[in-house]
Structure 1
Amino acid sequence: MLHTIDHELLRTFVAIVDHGGFTRAAQAVNRTQSAVSMQIKRLEEDVIQRPLFERQGRQMHLTSEGTTLLGYARRILDLQGEALNKLRKPEMIGRVRIGVPDDFVMRFLPGILKSFSQSWPLVDVEVQCAPSSELLGRQQGSLDLSIVTCEVGQEIGTILRREETVWVVAESHAVHRQSPLPLALFEEPCFCRRHACNALTRAGRQYRIAYSSPSLATLQAVVGAGLAVSALMKSLVTPGMRIVGEADDFPSLPEGSIVLLRSPEANSPAVDGLARHIVEGFR
């Protein structure tokens, strides 16, 4: 006899992944931590009959079966929410508040919002642009979802993608040969800035921070004018920029992670839907 999967078990499973652990997931689904643990035990032993999580030190990671189930779980919950919204028209009206660094506004947000509006045409979306460090402090009540960047290994929430951090200069300028090297970097705190400075120091290369800004557009304009070198996630490189590396005496830089955070109080179908569209938009 085929088993069916209780959607509440799937919702708890997804909450654990999205909130980075059992404790925060319990708050998100309004259950005790022991109840959440029992739900996952039931899902693993009685339904899937495979372990979904494995512990590595303090970190919980999905098994291959857990990763497979996650994709199906999101689709099932989204379809359920979509069906209910179609049948209950008032549920399709509401507001979702999302925080995004301006790094990703032009690169990813237009496509995400377009696809979301097609499924949820009456839901208002409030977008707040701020650096990742500020968005991390707004998760308690003022935002439903936030897209932030962080160092690999320090992620909480849903990892949207990991990206190479690269050095960029203007295509038609040779500012990268100057000494001290003029840099255009995001304001502190920024892991790209910290990694760039540390890497140059270790390589024994002199530099100065000639331009500092919270705005990606400003850094792109400065680099495009041939005034400085910058360190950016690879997806933020635009036409007119050229990536430089070890052949130009630039040290390699660590990868960074782009992560989706969700407020524990954000429990509406519309938030579920936008979170799903964000995950798809970053693939």
Structure 2
Amino acid sequence: MAMLPTIDHELLRTFVAIIDQGGFTRAAQTVNRTQSAVSMQMKRLEEDVIQRPLFVRQNRQLLLTSEGRTLLGYARKILSLQGEALTLLRQPDMVGRVRLGVPDDYVMRFLPGILKTFSQAWPLVDVDVHCAPSSVLSQRPQESLDLSIMTREIGDEIGTILRREPTVWVADESHSIHLQAPVPLALFEAPCFCRRHACNALDRAGVAYRVAYSSPSLATLQAIVGAGLAVSAWMRSLVTPDVRILSEADGFPPLPESSVVLIRSPHSTSPIVDGLAEHIIEGFRL
């Protein structure tokens, strides 16, 4: 199979300079070549590489042919990508790996947007995501993760507070499981202060209940609630359109607020970690 000719980036650079500078003479000064050298470059580009005329003179003006206009768009993209690649590769701080710990509560709701914007700004950085409950992440050695997102009780926050919001009772919209007595609950595994608050609130309100399902995974609790098998308690931002929030009118007492915090390891001081931390803070504002 015949190989297509490649385009020397210097030819493209000169070609773009001719358009931007309005002619061969000024372009020659921009690319630091003689005018005859610029002319020879364009002759080579037209005759040997593209094999089509790129310029046409009209009333002493230098205009592009349709092929020239097409090439100009690609030339700008190629030169831009080349410059971007060299910039990234020549800056070691832009290349590397960052380790992020996060409960799966926030993976579907917040992480996709955060990682998307981060990858656009830091395309050569790899992100290791470690999913675990907040209680587990808090026990990890500080040097094992660069950043950790955790849920904390109000008054027990450490690190940077990303947001505060209420915990709410939820049930599937199309079932009446909340009317059962005792009320079946699907809660996060102990130790979990959200679980503790939920049980304590029902105890104080005199509502009979049983913890029918326990899991460290929000996805599991969502599936159980979605099947109409139990009532659960989640942070307000994690509520999906297919569930309803239960209120005091439904017999469920209010629950306290929680905080989502970002904790940074004192062992992590790289610009990469700074960059991801900034994207996480911004992502939780949305």
TM-score by length of 2: 0.68
Q: Report if aligned partners of 1:139, 1:262 keep a CA contact under 8 Å in 2.
A: no
1:278 corresponds to? 280
1:195 matched to 2:201? no
Residue 86 (structure 1) shift: 5.8
1:207-259 alpha-carbon deviations (Å, 9 max, x no partner): 00000000111100110111100000011111210001110111000000000
CA contact (8 A) 1:96 1:271 kept: yes
Give 1:16-95 correspondences, 5 Å limit: 88-95=90-97
- Separation in 2, partners of 1:247, 1:179: 16
Query: Which of 109, 121, 128 matches 2:130?
Result: 128
Which residue identity lines up with residue 197 of structure 1 in the other structure?
Answer: C
Which is greater in Rg?
Answer: 2
Q: Deviations over 1:100-145 (max 9, x none)?
A: 1000001000000010011111111100000001111124111000
Correspondent of 1:258 among 257, 260, 272 = 260
Distance 1:235 1:176 in 2: 21
Partner secondary structure for residue 205 of structure 1? coil
> 1:179 matched to which residue of 2?
181
Q: Aligned to 1:209, which of 196, 211, 214?
A: 211
Q: Distance in 1 between matches of 2:212 and 2:242?
A: 20
What's the counterpart of residue 219 of structure 1? 221
| Helix, strand or coil at the partner of 1:104 | coil
In structure 1, what residue type is equivalent to 2:162? Answer: L
Q: How many residue pairs align between the two structures?
A: 199
**Residue number in structure 2 paired with 1:110:** 112
Conserved? CA contact 1:139–1:263, under 8 Å: no
Q: After TM superposition, where is structure 1 displaced by more than 6 Å over at least 4 residues in a row?
A: none
Does residue 165 of structure 1 match 2:167?
A: yes
Spell out, residue by residue over 1:37-92, the C-alpha distance to the aligned partner (whole angstroms, 9 max, x if none). xxxxxxxxxxxxxxxxxxxxxxxxxxxxxxxxxxxxxxxxxxxxxxxx86952221
Unaligned runs of 5+ in 1: 1-84
Any idea what SS the aligned residue of 1:96 has?
strand
Q: Which residue of 1 aligns with 2:238?
A: 236
Instruction: Tell me the distance in 2 between the aligned counterparts of 1:153 and 1:116.
Output: 30
- Alpha-carbon distance in structure 2 between the residues aligned to 1:108 and 1:174: 30
SS of 2:161 mapped into structure 1? strand
C-alpha contact 1:97 1:125 (8 A) present in aligned 2? yes
Q: Which has the higher contact order (CA 8 A, sep 6+)?
A: 1
Task: Tell me which amino acid in the other structure corresponds to 1:205.
Answer: V
Alignment partner for residue 152 of structure 2, among 147, 150, 153?
150
Distance (Å, rounded) in 2 between the aligned partners of 1:248 and 1:196 = 15
* Candidates 102, 108, 114, aligned match of 1:100: 102
Q: 2:89 & 2:219 partners in 1: Cα distance? A: 43
